[in-house]
Amino acid sequence: MDLRRWLDEAVTANETWSRTFGQVTPHPSLRIDDERFGAAFDLFSERLRDNFPFFHPRYAGQMLKPPHPAAVVGYLSAMLINPNNHALDGGPATAAMEREVVARLAAMFGLDTHLGHLTTSGTIANLEALFVARELHPDRGVAYSAEAHYTHSRMCGVLGIEGHPVPVDGRGAMDLDALEELLRAGRVGTVVLTAGTTALGTVDPIHEALALRERYGVRIHVDAAYGGFFTLLAGSDGPEGLPEEPWRAIAQCDSVVVDPHKHGLQPYGCGAVLFRDPAVGRFYLHDSPYTYFTSEELHLGEISLECSRAGAAAAALWLTFQLLPPTRDGLGQVLAAGRRAAVRWAELIEESEHLDLYQRPELDIVGYFPVTEPATLSRIDAASARILQDGMADAEDPVFVSTLRVGAEAMAARHPKIAQDADGARILRSVLMKPESEDYVDHLHQRLEQLAQRTDL
């Protein structure tokens, strides 16, 4: 699509709509001439150059990529109106769009019934899920994997409830035996399972944990902020296919969080929280005599902790879903490319003399480290740090990765021959969430091998 054309169409459509209410002369206090704006914009453009190339497949560092052009056009179109999806009075059109996209997300996870809304981030979405957990079990805490995102520990502190980190197994997933031992004490009311950890994309055994819910009467919340859209690949054929069981089990869990601003091709911030039981809406009950006055329908602000929220975020996601719906043949094809890239790179690393695979990728995140002599944690740590810096500093053919610190015990479980002369080491980590990575991964591998071959540590 021609982004310039449709951005112009967005401005024109807004002007046409605005004129139906009569001409308005801009107030003198808001007027800025083009020459003055041009000077400010030149400075602004120069400042924006101080960024990494998130759009390019040579950037494989963090969970960052530009939004789809359709999302940009949708966001801009609504932003010119600037609706607030807290209340129907503030954003009737975008509130309706939000309900529609949330329903599509619920259908993607197989939820028959749901209550949910968009949020400004996965952090806030998880806060809302844990808030409901506290209201349902005010005298019990929350259990989460030791590899779960730090937001769960932090939000337990915010909510004043006890958090219980649970040890992980050899692939970094929650150890269900350790979880059951914790549940026997009766101090946990909600278990958080992760569908795609931030570190390596590990998926907890959600389907196996359901039995513990019935046995101990706990709730199960799924943090699928990063990995949620990969449910579209569950049971697919080919290298991108994923096991069905954990993804299908999400439909039986009590709540789930997903971030469209990650694999949903949206600009920041756009998260979402969904509850299987709409009755939990009672915990949000409040009165706002100056807000809810044009409709007897449920306002989105009546089922969210946040107040003002950008209606433009809902508009952007709605327009994107018209073109790339959250289905296997739609958005699923975008994720499939990144997944295939990760599988391909893992195979290349396994064949390499200069790089070693930390563990097989489960989604589209690859963890690996340079081969060193001797093979010690301290040497791996130093070599990984050097590769990170050298890759970014190369002016002709830069490559951007990230590092991940792993403990000595975790490394020993996967690579027992590496000498433990330190308590841990940094390894290399690459996120292949851009579909263009599929055609670029061979070059990425070649560059990382070149960087790893340097011996002047």
Provide, rounded to the nearest whole percent, the portion of the chain with pLDDT above 70. 96
212-222 pLDDT tens trace:
998 999 999 99
Cβ-proximal residues to 440 (8 Å cutoff; 6+ apart), any chain: 57, 58, 341
Cβ atoms within 10 Å, residue 389:
11
Q: Which phi and psi angles does 418 have, rounded to 5°?
A: -80, 130
At 100 the pLDDT is 97
Element (H, E) at 365: strand 365-370
Average pLDDT value for residue range 257-270: 97
And the tokens for 444? Answer: 């990425």
pLDDT of 289 above 70: no
- What type of residue sits at position 369? F
> Is residue 220 within 8 Å of residue 191, measured between CB atoms?
yes
Contacts of 96 by beta carbon, 8 Å cutoff, 6+ apart: none
Is pLDDT at 230 greater than 90 in this prediction?
yes
Could you give the CA distance from residue 250 to residue 230 in angstroms, rounded to a whole number?
A: 12
**Cα(173)–Cα(147) distance, integer angstroms:** 7
Q: What is the pLDDT of residues 403-426, one digit of tens each?
A: 999 999 999 999 999 999 999 999
Q: Quick: pLDDT tens for 168-214.
A: 999 999 999 999 999 999 999 999 999 999 999 999 999 999 999 98
Residue 120 has pLDDT above 80, yes or no: yes
**Averaged pLDDT for residues 124-142:** 96
Indicate the helix (H) or strand (E) that contains 429.
strand 424-431
Summarised one tens digit per residue, pLDDT across range 335-366 is: 999 999 999 999 999 999 999 999 999 999 99
Question: Mean of the per-residue pLDDT values for the chain?
Answer: 95
| Per-residue model confidence (pLDDT) at position 290 | 41
pLDDT at 31 over 70: yes
| Residue 456: predicted pLDDT | 46
Strand partners, 194: 223
Q: Would you place residue 300 in the very low, low, confident or very high pLDDT band (cuts 50, 70, 90)?
A: confident
Predicted confidence (pLDDT) per residue in 319-341, tens digit? 999 999 999 999 999 999 999 99
Q: 457: pLDDT confidence band, cut at 50, 70 and 90?
A: very low
284, pLDDT greater than 90: no
pLDDT at residue 435, rounded to an integer: 98
Residue 286's pLDDT is what? 59
Q: In this predicted structure, what is the pLDDT of residue 320? A: 98
**Among candidate residues 333, 355, 141, the one with its CA nearest the CA of residue 238:** 333
**253 and 273 in contact (C-beta within 8 Å)?**
no
**130 pLDDT higher than 90:** yes
**Tens digit of pLDDT for each residue in 3-24?**
999 999 999 999 999 999 999 9
pLDDT (average), residues 398-403 = 98
Q: Is the pLDDT of residue 443 over 50?
A: yes
Q: Which residue has better confidence, 105 or 454?
A: 105
Distance CA 180, CA 196 (A): 21
291 pLDDT band (50/70/90 cuts)?
Answer: very low
